[in-house]
Amino acid sequence: MKFFSIIMLSIILLSACSNSYYAKQAEQELGADAGLSQTQINRTNDGAIDLIENQKAPEKMTQSTTRLPKPIEGTIVYQSFEGGFFSFISNDGSKFTLMGLAEHHRKNGLVVSIQGEIVHDVMTTTQFGQILKIIDIVVIDESKVKPVVKNNQDI
């Protein structure tokens, strides 16, 4: 029995040494590989090697925009579909989904002049015209403001 215990202990120690040796060898070879420059090599408690991809923060997406050459006039209109949202319909009939509309301008029927940018490559659930990112807004007429009826309640 004593002989068996010595043999088992020797096997465990030798396997630990060989794992350590092979782990170091793999670490040297993998670390030198230029293709793994964005991979981190971690050694676990048992001497094995884990390759873990670096968790880089996602790069900021840049939006493609086109600045309006001049302010456009029109009316802010509440649309009740797709959960409800405030849109902008210009005097020439162009339709826009607004981006960055301040709370105090969220009035159905408010006539305004908006300077802004058309935002490209953006998807919305509204499917209502182009996306217009507001840079500046000037109220022209508040006399046409009507309450928004949502679920049979004025808001």
* pLDDT tens by residue, 6-41: 766 666 655 555 455 555 555 555 554 444 434 455
Reported as a single tens digit per residue, the pLDDT across 97-139 is: 999 999 999 999 999 999 999 999 888 888 889 999 999 999 9
* 103 alpha-carbon distance from chain centroid: 23
pLDDT tens-digit series, residues 77-97: 999 887 889 999 999 999 999
pLDDT of 141 strictly over 70: yes
Res 150 pLDDT > 90: no
- pLDDT, residue 122, reads 81
Q: Taking the model in full, what pTM does it have?
A: 0.57
CA dihedral 71, 72, 75, 76 (to 10 degrees): -60
Alpha carbons within 13 angstroms on the beta-carbon side of residue 78 total 18
- Rounded Cα–Cα distance for residues 81 and 146 (Å): 18
